[in-house]
Amino acid sequence: MLDRPNRCALAAIARNDEMLGTAFPASRVLLVEQPGGWGVGGLADSRFDPRVAQQLIGTLGQQGVRVLAIRRPGRYPAPVQRSWGFADCRPGRQGIVWGTYQAADELLELDPVALAEQATDTRPVYAVCAHGTRDMCCAIEGRPVATALARLCPGRAWECSHVGGDRFAANVLVLPTGQLYGRITDPVALASAAEAGQVLPNRLRGQIGLPAAAQAAVVHAQRELRLTSGGVVQVLEVQGSPPGVQLVRLAVPDGSCTVAVQRVTGAPAILTCRDVKAKVPLSYHPLWLRAD
């Protein structure tokens, strides 16, 4: 095990790694309750049927759905019926629908199109990455946050498998809004904001489902214009493509604005606790914001 000072989350803070634009591209999420330990592969590397897990991840992945294993924080007896939740995080369609299953094969019958129509629950759900076998930082930083959120919002906080960006732990995905937060050290502030329909712009990595430059532009506009209400910044258009500067046009409460975003290639570094070779990090830097 690595010494605590060498953990990836601490090293990333020391390097001042930028979090903007690092939320995953899927705009819908299937949460599958799987108690007990998870291997590096998450749901596919657990006591869940591996054949079903691979088929589920492959089929739904092709439809833009991210599959995450979830479990209750703390110690609980394995339930006979386990929960699943489908979250649609697309703007204007945000909602969650829940169900239960006994046999893993039952989940293969789930239809994302039909589920999106049934996803009407908008109460915040918190999925905290605590995937310690993949990265120790996710366990060390994530589990206390998940436990605290479970106390603050009973029944609506889960530990979850890998969401990306291990070095930004503790990572918290708020559903169905799809806001992915990093470096969460104050779960009370996060819960207070989410329950009131607000965001914490200084901890946002981005909105899942959006292109990276658009994620960075939205958060930058929220910061610069001091917009803390969720959903008040919407992406209208993205012009250009990496590695050039991209122009992201946004709808904001007072009209519209454009944010210029540049993709920056960082110096090679060890980005996760499991890495043995340095990797090149990509980050997205807003250059300016201009009212249209």
**Buried/exposed 71-97: b ≥16 CB within 10 Å, e otherwise:** bbbeeeeeeeebbbbbbbbbeeebbbb
Closest CA to 216 of 281, 260, 171: 260
Tell me if 233 sits within 8 A of 227, measured CB to CB: yes
For residue 272, the surrounding DSSP H or E stretch is none
Is the residue at 28 inside a domain?
A: yes
Could you tell me if residue 140 is inside a domain? Answer: yes
- Asked whether residue 181 is assigned to any structural domain, the reply reads yes
Strand ordering across the sheet containing 234-239: 234-239, 246-252, 255-265, 282-291
Residues 166-179 pLDDT 10s: 999 999 999 999 99
Residue 169 in domain: yes
User: Is 122 domain-assigned?
Assistant: yes
The predicted pLDDT at position 78 comes to 73
Q: Please enumerate in sequence order all residues whose Cβ is within 8 A of that of 131, keeping only pairs 6 or more positions apart, or say none.
A: 38, 42, 138, 139, 142, 160, 161, 162
CB 131 within 8 A of CB 162: yes
> In the prediction, which pLDDT does 2 show?
42
Number of structural domains in the chain: 1
Q: Which domain holds residue 40?
A: 4-210
CB of 10 within 8 A of CB of 47?
no
Residue 254 domain-assigned (yes or no): no
Q: What is the pLDDT of residues 20-51, one digit of tens each?
A: 999 999 999 999 999 999 999 999 999 999 99
What residues of the chain score a pLDDT lower than 70? 1-5
Asked if residue 224 is part of any domain, the answer here is: no
Quote the pLDDT of residue 4: 56
The pLDDT value recorded for residue 3 is 46
DSSP notation for 119-180: --B-S-EEEEE--TTT-HHHHHHHHHHHHHHHHHSTTSEEEES--S-GGGPSPEEEETTTEE
Contacts of residue 282, defined as CB under 8 A and 6 or more positions apart, other chains included, come to: 212, 263, 264, 265, 266
What confidence score (pLDDT) does residue 111 get?
A: 96
Closest-CA residue to 31 (of 102, 99, 114) = 99
pLDDT of residue 80: 76
> Quick one: 28 exposed, middle or buried, by C-beta within 10 A (0-12, 13-18, 19+)?
buried
pLDDT (0 to 100) of residue 277: 95
* 134 located within any domain: yes
